Structure formats: structure tokens, C-alpha cells
Structure 1
Amino acid sequence: MNEPATHRKAALITGANKGISRAIAEQLAALGMTVLIGASRLDALANNAGITGSGQVSPEDARDQIPSSVDLDMVRTVFETNVFGVIAVTNALLPLLRKAPAPRIVNVSSAAGRHPHTRRWAERIGACDAYIVVTPEYNTAPPAALTNAIDYLYEEWGGKPVGYVGYGIFGAVMAVQKLRAQAGPLRMADIGPQVALSLREDFVDFADFKPQEPHGAEVRGLVDELLAWARALAPLRAASPAAV
């Protein structure tokens, strides 16, 4: 990297002694970021440290506790670590994150810490080699539910291209820009110009979808480029399979 050390991005990773957090730290370091436990400014915070409450077992052997027999001290310990610990670390580091031009907070969970609906979401995303995200725009931003669903996962997105179709008064251009900023820390390759659909010109009475003819060629071009990138990135995905 030829970038001056004073301009290199810094990231703090919790639970980086093993597992997903360690892999995140290694990958960010390989990208040229400075991975530290403290810094005068942070560009990214990845919260991943957590416990299952099942004792010293492997993640796949972790089991849900039965409410009628669960140890309340164990429940308190799990919540102190997995819930309040995340809040405490994040709040403590907000002053450093606010000094960065484009700070990011990513909350990561292993399979053992996922609810069934999250595991299903991870399996569907992990099974794909490329994505097209279709988004509206509200107050210059994508829906909160969409950004939250993307941030729910990490490994499943890595090494895969993503294209965008946006619809709004001005084609959701600003919303897509924010989604592109989200894609980078998740190791997605955002590609090509978006397909921008206007509520005035591509919808009848702002409701019935009737796209203009040029958009057909734009969609075909986006899909062709997406497939080309998916093939080109296949070796990267093979070297770092998604943890679903």
C-alpha cells in the first residue's frame, strides 16, 4: 500500500482471538486497514464477541435453554455480554467513530447466535453468487428494514457482486449511493450504473409500473455485467466460503 500511514483506515474488532472476528481482522488487515484495539479515530467497528450460555461446547452443539430450568445467573451473563456489552462498546467508541468521514458499525453473529429466521436468511443469501437489490427512496435513503437485513449478515455477502435498481422521484439515486457505501465493508463488489426508475416517468399515477423502453436494455446490461463479475470472483468465494 502506498497510502500514507496517517490516512490509513482503522478498525476495532471485538472477539478477534478466534472465529469470525479473527477472520474479519485478517481480511481488513489484508485490505490495508489498521486493525487495533484502540485508536484516535475509527472508521469501522465490528461487534462479534458473544457467548451462547451452553458452556464449553462447539457452536454447532449449542442448544437453547428451557425456561423452566434455565440458570438465571447464566442468562444474566449472556445478556451482559451479548446485549449490554455491545451497547457499552459501541457507546464508548462513538466519539472515535464520529471523527471518521464515513464510519460504519457492523454487528456480526455466528450461526450459534442466530435465530431460526436469521439462519434461513443466511442460507438463502449464502446460496447466491450475485445480487440485484431493488430499493425505493425515503428522505434520500433506502428503507431501514433493507439496510438492517443486509447488516444482519457478513460472511454470506463476501466476494459477490451486487447491482442496484432504484425507484423514486429522482430514481432513488441517493438511496443507492448509501447502499454502495454499505457494500464495501461487507466485501461486496458494487458494479455498474444503477437502473434508475422515476415515479413520474415510469409509473402511471405514481402507482402502476410502466417502464420506459430504454430501461429494458439497462437491465440486460446490468445482468450481463453482474454475471461476468460473479464468474470473475468465483476463486475468491471458493477460498473464503460463507459460514451458513
Structure 2
Amino acid sequence: MSTVKIGIIIGSTRPGRVGDQVANWVLEHASARTDAEFELVDLADFSLPHLDEAMPPSLGQYANDHTKAWAEKVDSFDGYIFVTPEYNHSTSGALKNALDFVYGEWNDKAAGLVSYGAAGGTRAAEHLRLILGELQVADVRQQVAFSLMTDFENYHVFTPAAYHQGMLATQLDQLVPWAAALKGVRDARSALAAAA
């Protein structure tokens, strides 16, 4: 059985963001595991414009090179950890746009949510759960939520409380098996399509 691959997606492209600090913390702790491979995915590296594909993403008929590159990256993973800020009681526009760009590449995968904000980013995570449901992504129960007031020094330097490591470990214990199981679902779907 091939190794489960999990993408840790930095959900903010904002100058001065703190999401990269959070995502690197996730990567550091996740990489100690031997049951999956983890990779940082920075939305800022993809420079996605506001959704500019003429055809609905559900058709998988991507015309633009930036969409094809993003689709290839999304497709390369069995699951994801979304590191999201909370902006105005929701996730970032950049992450929502990236989610909307492709469709089939997300289907039958698993996801964990790591959020941050004044209220731990919990409302952003709840909105993400609704979006992920429509994309056929199974999100695990355990969330990791960081407060800008207690887990950051001067709201900018990431200094997480130690107990968050246990929460992340629980999330990964849920995420990795789900990602592996859904890989089997995708394989079965592909076999059925090939036989049709």
C-alpha cells in the first residue's frame, strides 16, 4: 500500500500573515509520524486570480495553466490540513477561491482543520466544514484552534500553548486512517469507471 500523502494548506496570502508560522508548527509535529507524508502548500505560490474558468469546475475542463497546476497539486494528496485564519466570521477569500477552482480533485479525500483568530478561528472552521461537505471531503471531528490573544505574542509571533500538540496528535490519529480509507474508495470508483 502506498504512503498516505497529506497537504498542509496555508489558507492566507495576506502580507504579514501568521498562517505560515502555524502551518510550519503543524508540519514540524506531523513530520514526526511514520504513517503519512506531509507537505506544505502555500496558496501564495500559486497566484490564483479570482475564479476565471468559464466552465464549472465540476466538469474538470480546465483551460488555464494556473488552474491545471493547482488541480495537479490538489490531486497529488490523499488528505489535507487546512490552516485557516478567521476573517469576518469566515475563512479567507483566498482559501475559498482556491477551493472553488477545482472539484473532482478534492472528492473522496479527508481533511483536518487548524484555525486561528480572536475566537480561535472556530467560525471559519465551521464555514469550511460546509464547503468541504459540498466538495465531498470528509472532515474529521478534532479541530485545533489558536487564539490570537493567548497563542501569539503581540498578536504576531506564534507561541502556542503546549496542550495544542495533543490536540494535533488526535486530529492526525483521525485524519490519516480516514485518508487511507478514502484512497480505497477512489480506487474502487476508478475501477468501476474503467470497467464501464
- TM-score of the superposition, structure 2-length normalised? 0.66
SS in 1 for 2:142: coil
Q: Which amino acid aligns with 2:84?
A: T
Runs of 4+ in 1 over 3 A off after TM superposition: 109-113
Q: CA RMSD in A?
A: 1.7
Change (3 A) 1:189 1:197: same
Q: Superposed, which structure 2 residues align to 1:82-161 within 5 Å?
A: 107-108=56-57, 110=59, 112-161=61-110
Q: Distance in 2 between matches of 1:155 and 1:124?
A: 12
Q: Is 2:62–2:68's contact at 8 Å kept on the other side of the alignment?
A: no
Mapped partners of 1:149, 1:130: distance in 2 = 15
Cα distance in structure 1, aligned partners of 2:103 and 2:114: 22
Q: Number of aligned residue pairs: give it.
A: 138
Structure 1 CA distance for aligned equivalents of residues 177 and 62 of structure 2:
35
Asked if 1 retains the 8 angstrom alpha-carbon contact of 2:111 and 2:175, the reply is yes
Show structure 2 runs of 5+ residues with no match: 1-52, 191-196
In the TM superposition, what are the counterparts of 1:1-244 in structure 2 within 5 Å?
Answer: 107-108=56-57, 110=59, 112-240=61-189
Larger Rg: 1
Q: Is the 8 A contact 2:60 2:103 kept in 1?
A: no
Q: Higher strand proportion, which one?
A: 2
User: What amino acid is aligned across from residue 134 of structure 1 in structure 2?
Assistant: V
Instruction: Compare relative contact order (CA 8 Å, sep 6+) and give the higher one, 1 or 2.
Output: 2
How far residue 109 of structure 1 moved from its aligned partner, in angstroms, is 5.7
1:223 to partner: Cα distance: 1.3
Q: Using a 3 Å threshold, how does the CA distance of structure 1 residues 240 and 120 change in structure 2: closer, same or farther?
A: farther
Q: Which amino acid aligns with 1:158?
A: N
Q: CA deviation at 1:220?
A: 1.4
